[in-house]
């Protein structure tokens, strides 16, 4: 038995009300970029997004050490993003592209 028929069976008055909900528009889909098969021999930028604003997080530095020790064939470049954590840094993105950056690890957001 449906909720509605349950309600009707209970003898309570049925009420019709307007719906407050709005319809949200879905975003146009965008494909991700094709991935390389391996990171070996590649340049990976570790971009600190400067979440707390002063000097970045040590997590990214620790990650750079991890690559040096565990994947020495990866050129892991550390960079602190300019501006605060919500601002874009087009100069850096352009630089990464021009210098042949193969991938970006960005963090850490809280």
Partner 1 sequence: MCGNLEKQYGIPTVSLANENIVSFGIGAHFKYSTGMPLRFVGMPYPFTGLSDQTLKTYLEGKDNVSGKPVMQAIVDCLTTPLTDEEKIAGPSPEAASEPRFLPPDTEENLQRLFKDRDWTDFNPIILPTEERVAAMLEGTSHKPDEIVKTNSGTFGTTRPFTVEKVAIIAVMAGAKPEYLPVILAVASQAPYSDSTTSNASMVLVNGPIRNEIGMNYGLGALGPNGEANSVIGRSMVLIHKIIQGYKEGVSGFSSLSNPLLYNYMTIAENEEALPEGWEPYHVLMGHKPEDSVLTILMGWNFVNCGGSVVEHYAPQLLMRDFTRVLAGMGSVTLIMDPSVADLLKNSQGFETKAALGEWLSKNSVVPAETYWANSIASGMMGPMGDQGLEPYATWRKVPGNTLIHHLPNPGNIHTIVVGGETASVWFITDFMGGRGVSIDAWR
Interface residue list for partner 1 (CB under 8 A): 3-4, 7, 10, 12-39, 44, 49-54, 57-59, 62-63, 66, 70-71, 81-85, 87-89, 93-94, 96-97, 101-110
Q: Residue 1 CB, nearest distance to partner 1 (Å)? A: 13
Integer angstrom CA distances of residue 59 from 2, 64, 106, 107, 108: 54, 9, 11, 9, 8
Beta-carbon count within 10 A of 16 CB: 4
End-to-end Cα separation, the chain, in angstroms: 47
Smallest distance, partner 1 to C-beta of residue 75, A: 14
Shortest spacing between CB 27 and partner 1, in angstroms = 4
């Amino acid at each position: 038995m449906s909720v509605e028929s349950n309600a009707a069976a209970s003898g309570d008055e049925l009420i019709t009300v307007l719906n407050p909900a709005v319809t949200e528009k879905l975003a146009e889909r965008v494909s991700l970029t094709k991935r390389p098969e391996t990171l070996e021999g590649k340049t990976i930028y570790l971009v600190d997004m400067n979440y707390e604003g002063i000097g970045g997080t040590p997590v990214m530095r620790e990650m750079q050490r991890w690559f040096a020790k565990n994947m020495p064939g990866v050129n892991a470049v550390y960079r602190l993003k300019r501006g605060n954590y919500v601002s874009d840094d087009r100069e850096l993105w352009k630089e990464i592209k021009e210098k042949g950056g193969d991938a970006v690890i960005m963090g850490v957001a809280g």
